[in-house]
Amino acid sequence: MAMQYATFAGGCFWCMVKPFDETPGIESVISGYTGGHVENPTYEQVCSETTGHLEAVQIMFDDELYSYEQLLSTFWTLIDPTDAGGQFYDRGESYTTAIFYHDEEQRELAERSKADLAASGKFNKPIAVRILPANTFYAAEHYHQYYYKKNPMHYERYAVGSGRKAFQEQHWGHRK
């Protein structure tokens, strides 16, 4: 096994877990915070927009079963890559998008996938996702972990009510 890490910020981390978690080769998907300047931030601190952190997920995956390129492909279908101010209902810096690369190969693959998406013509606005070096990742509070399993009805209402689900269906087709 070749376990690696991938870290993605795609708005509310609740909506970023399920699509990765249900994939063979994914060992874990942890909701948390990264990119900021405060050690061990809390959810309330991150939401206050004073820590510089983004809500993100850190994925431990077996690259032999599910490649980083496949993770990137999934990531793009979960977000509005043209929105620089947040994602869907959630606004502010902590809900902005980024790919945090863990090594030079991930950086190159992320840059290439972003360029490919921009060149595809799928969106008529620039791709706003930042590509940044990974830094300290802080796991979110326990109640945020695997939220879709703990609160399935609320999770579904949120995915629909936030506009995320409709955007995904419009741009990427129906997803499981």
Three-state secondary structure string covering the chain: CCEEEEEEEECCCHHHHHHHHCCCCEEEEEEEEECCCCCCCCHHHHHCCCCCCEEEEEEEEECCCCCHHHHHHHHHHHCCCCCCCEECCEECHHHCEEEEECCHHHHHHHHHHHHHHHHHCCCCCCCCCEEEECCCEEECCHHHCCHHHHCHHHHHHHHHHCCHHHHHHHHHCCCC
Q: What is the pLDDT of residue 45?
A: 97
Instruction: Check pLDDT > 80 for residue 174.
Output: no
Active-site residues, by number, are 12
Instruction: Check pLDDT > 90 for residue 176.
Output: no
Over residues 120-132, the mean pLDDT reads: 96
pLDDT cut 90: percent of the chain above it: 94
**Average pLDDT value for the chain:** 95
pLDDT cut 70: percent of the chain above it: 98
Domain ranges of the chain: 3-172
Q: How confident is the model at residue 153 (pLDDT cuts 50, 70, 90)?
A: very high
Q: Looking at the structure, give the CATH architecture of the domain made up of residues 3-172.
A: 2-Layer Sandwich (3.30)
